[in-house]
């Protein structure tokens, strides 16, 4: 009777605490608790070089997201729908759960591994539930996911490092919801949520755009350039400047330029930089002239319209680089 009772208890443990459904539930619970270390250490989750090659993934694919404080929402309200046993010992465990506001149903294939103490069932995922998220970080190589800031250039070399838009792949615990974005003094991206499903691939684009501070700084530099470098030149055609004038009469005094309306800076993403399209401005010249027709003297007061275009980028040190076009 003692032996029979022991075997019955052992069978009960193998059906409950050490059963295939409990194995899957513990994995999902670890994600829900943001215990990503435990979730990633679950047998069958990690991918070796052979697994990566078989999935067409690079051997150096980033594992930076396999940590806590990255997941925005994990599986909640987990419920086992079915547990189907197969002849080869595998089990297909189908569970239902909530991810944020979505109700999801997933089937996990698990298989037995060496028993604990030789008698208690142990399992591993037959196929890793890790997801692959391809992140396109546009206009800035930096992006955030959860509390983590990542650089999409981390594994890049050579000319790839200077690309205006970067793309990189990351392994991610699944199922889970991730929120991607970016926020700095000069650039910001609207947060984007991505649902990572087990064993699936997802894509997300983090579109970093200039902040008001960025535009204001460029505006200051444009104003300084027009006033200090252009309007300060006492000539009819200021060198390297977008405005000038041709006068038929004889100039008898130094031309004096002023900026009536500075071009209003707007920045939009281009292929390699943020671009300000040709934007109108207005300069004014005041100069003493003598008529070649009758020799009379007069003061010429005249507005001259012009356009200004430029490219702007953020340097690695956080400063702004501006190139006039």
Distances (CA, A) of 287 to 146, 158, 250, 282, 323: 61, 53, 10, 17, 31
Q: Are 95 and 131 contacting, i.e. CB atoms less than 8 angstroms apart?
A: no
Distances (CA, A) of 21 to 18, 28, 41, 44, 100: 8, 11, 18, 15, 22
Distances (CA, A) of 238 to 54, 241, 245: 64, 6, 9
CA proximity to 74, closest of 221, 202, 172, 215: 172
10: confidence class by pLDDT, cuts 50, 70, 90: very low
Q: Is 8's pLDDT higher than 80?
A: no
Decide which of 69 and 293 is more confident. Answer: 69
Would you kindly state where each structural domain of the chain is located, as residue ranges? 1-210, 212-324
Count of other CB atoms within 10 angstroms of residue 204: 20
207: tokens are: 């579109």
Q: Is 278's pLDDT higher than 90?
A: yes
DSSP 248-282: SSEE-S--EEEEEEPPPP--EE-SSSEEEEEEEEE
* Segments of 86-118 assigned E as strands: 91-99, 102-116
278: tokens are: 């040709």
Say what the pLDDT of residue 123 is: 95
Mean pLDDT lowest among 81-85, 99-103, 203-207, 217-221: 99-103
Say what the pLDDT of residue 14 is: 45
**Residues contacting 146, CB < 8 A, separation 6+:** 69, 70, 71, 72, 178, 179
295: phi > 0 → left, psi -120 to 50 → alpha, else beta; which?
A: left
CA proximity to 219, closest of 264, 252, 257, 174: 264
Calpha distance 325→314 (Å, rounded): 17
- Rounded mean pLDDT of 265-272? 96
Count of other CB atoms within 10 angstroms of residue 232: 11
Q: Are 111 and 126 contacting, i.e. CB atoms less than 8 angstroms apart?
A: yes
CA 275 from chain center: how many Å?
20
Calpha distance 201→192 (Å, rounded): 16
Q: Are 110 and 102 contacting, i.e. CB atoms less than 8 angstroms apart?
A: no
Decide which of 149 and 16 is more confident. Answer: 149
Say what the pLDDT of residue 116 is: 61
pLDDT digits (tens, 9 = 90+) for 200-259: 999 999 999 999 999 999 999 999 999 999 999 999 999 999 999 999 889 988 999 999
Q: Is 280's pLDDT higher than 70?
A: yes
Calpha distance 319→186 (Å, rounded): 9
Q: Is 18's pLDDT higher than 80?
A: no
Q: Are 51 and 58 contacting, i.e. CB atoms less than 8 angstroms apart?
A: no
Torsion sign, CA atoms 13, 14, 15, 17: positive
Q: Is 283's pLDDT higher than 70?
A: yes
Cα-flanking dihedrals φ and ψ of residue 229, to 5°? Answer: -100, -25
Calpha distance 179→159 (Å, rounded): 29
């Amino acid at each position: 009777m003692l032996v029979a009772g022991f075997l019955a208890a052992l069978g009960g443990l193998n059906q409950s605490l050490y059963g295939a459904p409990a194995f899957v539930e513990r994995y999902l619970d670890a994600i829900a608790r943001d215990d990503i270390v435990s979730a990633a250490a679950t047998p069958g989750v990690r991918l070796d070089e052979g697994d990566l090659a078989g999935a067409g993934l690079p051997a150096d694919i980033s594992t930076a997201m396999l940590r806590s404080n990255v997941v925005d929402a994990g599986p909640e309200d987990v419920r086992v729908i079915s547990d189907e046993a197969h002849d080869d010992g595998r089990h297909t465990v189908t569970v239902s759960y909530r991810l944020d506001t979505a109700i999801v149903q997933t089937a996990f294939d698990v298989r037995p591994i060496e028993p604990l103490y030789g008698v208690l069932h142990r399992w591993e995922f037959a196929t890793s539930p890790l997801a692959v998220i391809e992140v396109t970080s546009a206009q800035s190589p930096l992006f955030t996911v959860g509390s983590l800031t990542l650089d999409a250039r981390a594994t890049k070399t050579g000319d790839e490092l200077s690309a205006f838009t970067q793309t990189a792949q990351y392994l991610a615990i699944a199922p889970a919801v991730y929120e991607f974005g970016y926020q700095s003094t000069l650039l910001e991206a609207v947060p984007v949520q991505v649902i990572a499903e087990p064993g699936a691939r997802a894509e997300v684009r983090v579109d970093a755009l200039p902040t008001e501070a960025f535009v204001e700084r460029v505006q200051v530099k444009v104003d300084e350039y027009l006033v200090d470098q252009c309007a300060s030149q006492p000539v009819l055609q200021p060198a390297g400047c977008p405005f000038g004038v041709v006068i038929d009469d004889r100039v008898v005094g130094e031309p004096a330029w002023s900026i009536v309306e500075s071009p209003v800076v707007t920045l939009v993403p281009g292929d390699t930089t943020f671009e300000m399209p040709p934007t109108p401005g207005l300069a004014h010249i005041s100069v003493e002239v003598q008529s070649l027709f009758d020799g009379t003297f007069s003061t010429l007061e005249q507005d001259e319209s012009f356009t200004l275009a430029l490219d702007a980028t953020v340097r690695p040190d956080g400063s702004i680089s501006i190139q006039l076009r």
